[in-house]
Amino acid sequence: MFRAFWRHGSNAALMIGALAICAYAGLGNAPLSPLAILAGAVLFYLTEYTTHRFLFHAPPSSRGWLLKLQRRLHYDHHVEPGRLDLLFLPLWYVAPNLAIIGLAAWAVLGDGALALSLVLGALVALLHYEWVHYVAHIPYQPRTRFGRWMKRYHLWHHFKNEHFWFGVSNPTLDFVYGTFRQPDAVTRSTTVRELYREDQ
């Protein structure tokens, strides 16, 4: 279970990046700020929902290269939710996003240590997201009641209706934006597995 998590996607690279930031800070080069680390994690959790709902579920592009990216980033994951190579975010998507966050934080805050702290928080939150997402899609039963509920919660999005339950690692913004429903109050979507089917 753990081996498969580190073998796919960008997870190993994310962990190496987080450890590298900690090692760099540990050498006295950039004292990390716990508050900025927390801010980076919160920033990720806020963007997780909006990215999933408005970017990954955006209508298909008419441009072939962009449609190919949409398929790899999310559409194909709905078609084959159990495929691990489609489950995790690819490094070519994650690395530029983290770099942009770090550079934007540095430009706004004017402090490299704070920017690194922010990136570290986002990295840790992203690893948490990938883990929760992974557990939701493998034949494993989480030990806690909340973990089991989160697994069901995400699977409703994949097997009941793709228009609800966008939170993967936490449900907070689904409640804020009204995309939470009790599963028995929602009809099964005909496009839940194949987003934007041509015959719909």
Walk along the chain (200 residues) in steps of 10 and give the mean pLDDT of each run. Answer: 84 95 85 95 95 96 94 96 92 94 93 94 97 96 95 97 96 96 95 77
To 5 degrees, how large is the angle CA 46–CA 175–CA 70? 50
Residue 183 within any structural domain of the chain? no
* pTM (predicted TM-score): 0.92
- Where helices occur in the chain by DSSP H, the ranges are 2-7, 11-26, 34-50, 64-70, 76-79, 84-87, 91-109, 112-137, 145-159, 172-177
Cβ atoms of 152 and 182 closer than 8 Å: no
Residue 194 domain-assigned (yes or no): no
Look up the domain containing 71 and give its range.
2-142
pLDDT at 200 (0 to 100): 45
In a domain, 13, yes or no: yes
In a domain, 52, yes or no: yes
DSSP at 189: P
Kindly state whether residue 163 falls inside one of the protein's structural domains. Answer: no
Distance CA 195, CA 162 (A): 8
Task: Provide the domain count of the chain.
Answer: 1
Query: 79 in a domain, yes or no?
Result: yes
Question: What pLDDT was estimated at residue 25?
Answer: 87
- Asked whether residue 180 is assigned to any structural domain, the reply reads no
DSSP state of 185: G
Q: Long-range contacts made by residues 33-37, C-beta under 8 angstroms, separation at least 24?
A: 33/113, 33/114, 33/117, 34/117, 36/114, 36/117, 36/118, 36/121, 37/117, 37/118, 37/120, 37/121, 37/124
**Distance of alpha carbon 35 from alpha carbon 49, whole angstroms:** 22
Q: What pLDDT was estimated at residue 197?
A: 67
* Per-residue model confidence (pLDDT) at position 196: 85
Burial (CB count within 10 angstroms: exposed 0-12, middle 13-18, buried 19+), residue 48? buried
Residue 189 covered by a domain: no
Which tokens is 43 given?
Answer: 């920033």
What confidence score (pLDDT) does residue 198 get? 59
User: Tokens 């041509």 sit at which residue?
Assistant: 198
